[in-house]
Amino acid sequence: MRITFHGAARQVTGSCHLLESGRHRLLLDCGLFDSDRLNPDSPNRHFTFDPQSLDAVVVSHAHNDHIGRLPCLVRAGYRGPIYCTAPTAEILGLMLRDSARIQREDVRLAAVRRAELRAAERARGTALELDEADELEPLFELHDVERVEAQIQRVPLNEPVELFDGVTLTLHNAGHILGAAAVQLDLRVAGTRRRVVYTGDLGRRGMGLLPNPDVVRGIDVLISESTYGGKELDPYDRLMKQLHAIVARATRLRSKIVIPAFSLGRTQRLVYCFQELFDLHRVKPIPVYVDSPLASRLTEIHRAYPDAYTKTARRLMDRDPFYFSPPSVRFCMNWEESRRLNYLDGPMVIIASSGMCDAGRVRSHLKHTIEDPDNAVVIVSYQAEGTLGRQIAEGAERVKIQDEEFDLNAAVYVLDGFSAHADRNDLLWWYEQTGGRIGQAYLVHGEPEQMLALAPAMQPFVESDVILAEPHHSYEF
């Protein structure tokens, strides 16, 4: 048996792992790399394996860095099954359609810019440097997404499914986002049996809305994420106390709180946290507006899976007719409702995407709020280098939003414990719960410093030396 890491090796994006077992080739996830999708040299533009040679694809969850290249896979000729949970199937359809729409728009804007450049070159009488052959193309189109949807096979949690003779798949709740699963493959080759487990992304323990990740036992080969392998995050009760203090300040000052949040997972978790704060902890409610059309559609999917949440969350949400719809929360359905928030007085919370502030409606809310020191910006997500969100999180004095400069006077709070990723303690707890010793372990989905910090702490649970996966490198086991 052999495993090759075609993405998320010493980095956190592009998850894509090829498992070869006897006659079968299985792909675990097919995610997008964090790289310009339109750039012809982007690693998103080509596969480092033959998509047509695959027998099956298993998807752990519907974040773009795990599903974003599935349409490229079918475009390159893959016609086999794509296995995932039912919520993941629904969410990935929405996410990929949104991605196709954004790419079409990006290509259109790039074509306009190129036409302007060509006109300018002609006017100057200089040689044309931009060639028609260089026209940009989206990674995939809507019809590729439809093909992905047609190839999906839904798998219930905790029920073994025989994919081929000698290959059995079982998905376990990973507690990361709705539908996220850890993947267990029981393989039988030439009389030997091996249990290979891929964590996908594991969630945090005790986070209120989603249950703790399930633990898998008797693992021979583990492929583990390591995003926060070297970091401890604040526990849930401390985060809720901080959120309470921020709400109390806004109530006192009648001010606004802007929370940039990813549409998938983070937004629904925040809606639930405010519901818990107002209903369970009796904090005086203030209006909470969710301003992201994609988040509204994703929340609809979350409403359809009440069994996915913890008992406490269900007890609380059973009081809503629809789930994620407590009286204090309103979803903005159109631009008018979004714009109206600029003219309403606080106190209020505005949750809007994008999570890193480099796109989406959150930019408009930031423009209208960040110069007032009474307002607050709450950062609840990872902010990549070079993004507006990162500048805000680091307390820049002035920031540029869509070519306009603003003074950043609003209070800034960074609550990174709201992450959907297990921290170091959660990961070590999970390894310990597997019982017995893990035969072989590969670390993926982590920056090198996080992997290096995790490996020695993980080693007591693993028989062979823990391996930090190298990109495109094959390992026999």
- Judged by the rule CB under 5 A, the positions of this chain that interact with Zn ion are 63, 201
Beta strand 440-444 pairing with 467-468 = parallel
Q: Which of 187, 94, 193 is nearest to 145 (CA)?
A: 94
When the beta carbons of 85 and 328 are compared against Zn ion, the nearer one is 85
| Min CB(229)–Zn ion separation in Å | 15
The whole-angstrom separation of Cα 328 and Cα 240 is: 17
Q: Nearest approach, Cβ of 67 to Zn ion (angstroms)?
A: 10
Task: Kindly state the smallest distance separating residue 463's Cβ from Zn ion, in Å.
Answer: 28
In angstroms, what is the minimal distance from the CB of 201 to Zn ion? 4
Q: How many Cβ atoms sit within 10 Å of the Cβ of residue 327?
A: 12
Name the residue nearer to Zn ion (CB basis): 60 or 391. Answer: 60
Cβ-based nearer residue to Zn ion, 316 or 451: 451
Nearer to Zn ion, 207 or 349 (CB): 207
Burial tier of 267 (Cβ tally within 10 Å: 0-12, 13-18, 19+): buried
Cis peptide, bond prior to residue 15, ω within 30 of zero: no
Task: For the CB of residue 8, give the shortest distance to Zn ion in the complex, in Å.
Answer: 10
- Cβ count within 10 A of residue 235: 15
Nearer to Zn ion, 8 or 196 (CB): 8
Q: What are 474's strand-pairing partners?
A: 4
Q: Which is nearer to Zn ion, 203 or 346 (CB)?
A: 203
Give min distance, CB of 193 to Zn ion, in A.
30
Q: Closer CB to Zn ion, residue 63 or residue 363?
A: 63
By beta-carbon proximity to Zn ion, the closer residue of 91 and 258 is 91
> Regarding beta strands 152-154 and 82-84, do their DSSP bridges make them parallel or antiparallel, or are they unpaired?
parallel
Between residues 63 and 69, which has the closer beta carbon with respect to Zn ion? Answer: 63
Per-position b or e across 425-435, b if 16+ CB within 10 A of its CB? bbbbbbbeebe
Closest contact distance (angstroms) between CB of 28 and Zn ion is: 13
Question: Which one, 60 or 364, has the nearer CB to Zn ion?
Answer: 60
Q: Give 90 or 201: the residue with its C-beta nearer to Zn ion.
A: 201
Q: How far is CA 99 from CA 58, 187, 349, 455, in A?
A: 20, 35, 27, 35
Closest contact distance (angstroms) between CB of 401 and Zn ion is 27
Sign (positive or negative) of CA dihedral 401, 404, 409, 410: negative
Shortest spacing between CB 407 and Zn ion, in angstroms: 35
User: Could you tell me the smallest distance in angstroms from the CB atom of residue 31 to Zn ion?
Assistant: 9
Q: What does R_g of the chain's alpha carbons equal in angstroms?
A: 23
> In the bound complex, what is the minimum distance in angstroms from residue 63's beta carbon to Zn ion?
4
